[in-house]
Amino acid sequence: MVRNLSEIRHETQAIEETRQITNAMYLLSTSRMKKAMQKIEYNQIYMRRIRAAVKDILRISGSVNHTYTTRNGKRAAYLIISSDKSMCGAYNFNVVDCAVKNITLQDTTPYISTVGICGTEMLRSKGYEVDMEWLGVSQDPSLYHSRMIAENLISLYNTEEIGEIYVVFTRYINSVTQKAECIKLLPLSQEIFSDVDIEYDYQAQVLYQPSVSDVFNTMVPQYCIGVIYGCLHHACASEHAARMTSMQSATNNADEMINKLKFEYNTARQSAITAEITEIAAAVEIFASDDKNDKTTRNNN
């Protein structure tokens, strides 16, 4: 059934306005993703050095007896990083799904700290209690936010309210691929640094002043801040990449719908013109027939 021309025009206009919005969001996400990628690169240089330094201490010092290398508390803590905004495809679902799979492995109820409104709401809808929320952090991650989050978790760790700290986030691989991951932050072990290359192969005995414990007290909190800072920017870049892909797909779908509506509009318009021509032709034929009958009547008279 051919629809009314006015109805098709209104629907086309609505889709064109929606397309303008999705295209603008695509361009904005592209710009923000590139900025986040730059900060990831800067942080990777810092993290490469500090992780190598921590690995050297663990490797050279043997079994370091320190709070940051042993589990004392019973509960595990999860820092789950999601987004404050939606329209980014399966980004939030994937990170929450990864978090839930790891949380279910715990024997005790974990301490849950979240970054991002979407992840918080999804976890609550699944029946999980969120102990700490960090709002507005995912939109513009900063070193200040990273320090606040790290200090909160380390404080709970030092008081033995929690015994392990995990970070669940989405690692940015490229603009097409992002992967939800769960990494262990504390306690430290050599397995965490299996991917780190040894910077210096010391042949002599290494002495730490004043002690390994004091070095850890200063270095490990900075290490935690750096890891969280990197995870926040990976999540930020992944969010914008996912939204960019989603908005590009929405724009392409809008273009396809507009083309179909234009074809439908042209078809309906052609049908309307054909109907008008048919009506005119029928009217002319009727008029000619009536005129012929009148002439025949007059001639007979």
Per-residue pLDDT of 189-243, as tens digits, reads 877 777 766 666 666 566 666 776 777 788 888 888 988 988 898 888 888 888 8
What is the pTM (predicted TM-score) of this model?
A: 0.79
Amino acid present at 34: K
More confident residue, 185 or 168: 168
Q: What pLDDT does 167 receive? A: 94
Q: What are the distances in angstroms from CA 84 to CA 77, 122, 297?
A: 21, 12, 86
On whether the CB atoms of residues 68 and 223 are closer than 8 A, the answer is no
| pLDDT the model gives residue 94 | 92
CA distance 99 to 91: 13
Q: Using one digit for the tens of pLDDT, what is the confidence trace for 121-164?
A: 999 999 999 999 998 888 888 888 999 999 999 999 988 889 89
**Contacts with 265 (C-beta within 8 Å, 6 or more apart), sequence order:** 5, 8, 9, 12
Q: Is 263 exposed, middle or buried (0-12, 13-18, 19+ CB in 10 A)?
A: exposed
Taking residues 69-84, report their average pLDDT.
Answer: 87
Q: What φ, ψ does residue 205 adopt, rounded to 5°? A: -70, 135
Closest CA to 28 of 275, 253, 240, 270: 240
Q: Distance (Å, rounded) from C-alpha 70 to C-alpha 179?
A: 29
Residue pair 170/234 in contact by the 8 Å Cβ criterion: yes
On the question of pLDDT at 277 being above 70, the answer is: yes
Q: Report the pLDDT value the prediction gives residue 207, as an integer from 0 to 100.
A: 66
All domains of the chain, ordered by start, with CATH?
5-16+252-300 (no CATH), 27-246 (3.40.1380.10)
- Cβ contacts of 271 within 8 Å, gap of 6 or more: 2
pLDDT band at residue 172 using 50, 70 and 90 as cut-offs: confident
